Structure 1
Amino acid sequence: MPGHGHHHHDHSGHCHGEDGHDHSNDITPAIQSTLYSQIEFDRIITLNEAESNSGAAIVKKTWAERLNDHPELESDADEQLLMYIPFTGQVKLHSILIYTAPTSSAPKSLKLFKNRDDLDFSTASELKPTQKVDIPQPVPGAGVFELPLNRAHWNTTTSVTLFFEDNWSDGEEEVTKVGYVGFKGQFMALNREPISFLYEAAANPNDHVTIQGVNGIGGQIMPGQ
């Protein structure tokens, strides 16, 4: 593979090969629109992880580290994983980025829930998700999958919960492994919200028409008094 134009790739085993694909397009858009700096890593909660804090560790991976073998999130008692990932403010999610090694332990179905910090495996299984996406089966050299989300469903997002429900082993392998999770989208500035709030809080009493004949409203005298 020609060396020029690929100096930012040090994972030679994961490039797509001589397919005419310009890898420079992979790097810049992902960095420009990644929500990495808006994630509250210390508040990430992962249920059924075999190793403590491994869920947070794969989200903490930078874009340059996305194909590294370690750290890796691995499920414990069965194939399901539940991850709660909060943001520092409101975001608009555009897509989720996922990398897994090309094995049958790779996750298959992903349910996403918006702004829910109260889910366990039971409720996540029963509730209708904000969106469900199918994760393609990884093959050697596939790299990171970018799974587009329905943007209309992901405005004003303050947290996302990921429910990896099964994997590509079709029940034969009870361990699910995920190597990298990232998010692309838009961080929302909140500076306009207080303006709206203050306007509502300082509502003009004259805007509220007094209802005649109702006791206690605006000090009105009841008929006959």
Structure 2
Amino acid sequence: MSGHHHHDHGHGGHCHDEDGHDHSNDITPAVQSLLYSQIDFDSINTLNEATPKAGAAIVKKTWSERLNDEPELESDADEQLLMYIPFTGQVKVHSLLFYTAPTPSAPKTLKLFKNRDDLDFSTASELTPTQTIEMPQPVPGADVFELPLNRAHWNTTTSITIFVEDNWSAGEEDVTRVGYIGFKGQFMALNREPVSFLYEAAANPNDHVAIPGVSGVGSRIL
């Protein structure tokens, strides 16, 4: 992707690559599209997790840590998980990023609820979710699944609750495991300008090449 920009990468532009990734890998999200810094990690709550705070720990993984074996979220009493993940402000969520090891313990049905901080397993089972997603079954060697959301339903999101209803074992394996969860979208600043504009305004023009796709965004976004 980065080769299509009008920048000349031949003059050592990649030395500005502060997060250490090779951006030629198309799955790597542009820095400004990950909602990582807008997650209220301390308020994440996961029901039926085998290890306390494991749910928060996998959301806290950075993009470069997404395939690490540890930490991992495991369900406890049965295969279901219920994760409440609040944001620090209002966001537009475009897609979920999920990584799970390629085993029958991988989640299958995800029911997503917007702006509900009061759900337990019985209410999550009864209420109509904002959106339901069937996760693909992971295969060996696969990277993160990007699961697109219906953007019209996720425009003014302050929290997302993820109900993992079942896994790929068809009832034979009562432990569900998840390795990484991330979110792509747009954080709405108080003045309603997307935050990528704020990066743009503050950036040294010579550093633009560090963030693929950002250059020139500020002028168009207004």
The answer, yes or no, to whether TM exceeds 0.5 is yes
Count of aligned pairs: 174
Q: Can you give the 5+ residue segments of structure 2 that lack an aligned partner in the other structure?
A: 1-19, 193-222
Residues 179-199 of structure 1, C-alpha deviation per residue, up to 9 Å, x if partnerless? 00000000012236xxxxxxx
Tell me, yes or no, if structure 1 residue 66 matches structure 2 residue 66. Answer: yes
Identity value in percent: 77
Residues 77-111 of structure 1, C-alpha deviation per residue, up to 9 Å, x if partnerless? 00000000000000000000000000000000000
Equivalent in the alignment of 2:146: 146
Equivalent in the alignment of 1:27: 28
In the alignment, residue 25 of structure 2 is paired with which amino acid? S
Partner Cα distance (1:74, 1:100) in 2: 11
* 3-state SS of paired residue (1:102): coil
Residues 108-162 of structure 1, C-alpha deviation per residue, up to 9 Å, x if partnerless? 0000000000000000000000000010000001110000000000011000000
Partner Cα distance (1:160, 1:136) in 2: 20
Change in Cα spacing, 1:122 to 1:95, as seen in structure 2 (3 Å) is same
Partner Cα distance (2:70, 2:79) in 1: 19
In the alignment, residue 27 of structure 1 is paired with which amino acid? T
Q: Can you give the 5+ residue segments of structure 1 that lack an aligned partner in the other structure?
A: 1-6, 10-21, 193-225
Residues 58-82 of structure 1, C-alpha deviation per residue, up to 9 Å, x if partnerless? 0000000000000000000000000
In the alignment, residue 174 of structure 1 is paired with which amino acid? D
* 3-state SS of paired residue (2:26): helix
TM-score, normalized by length of structure 2? 0.75
Indicate the structure (1 or 2) with the bigger Cα radius of gyration: 1
TM-score, normalized by length of structure 1? 0.75
In the alignment, residue 178 of structure 1 is paired with which amino acid? V
Equivalent in the alignment of 1:121: 121
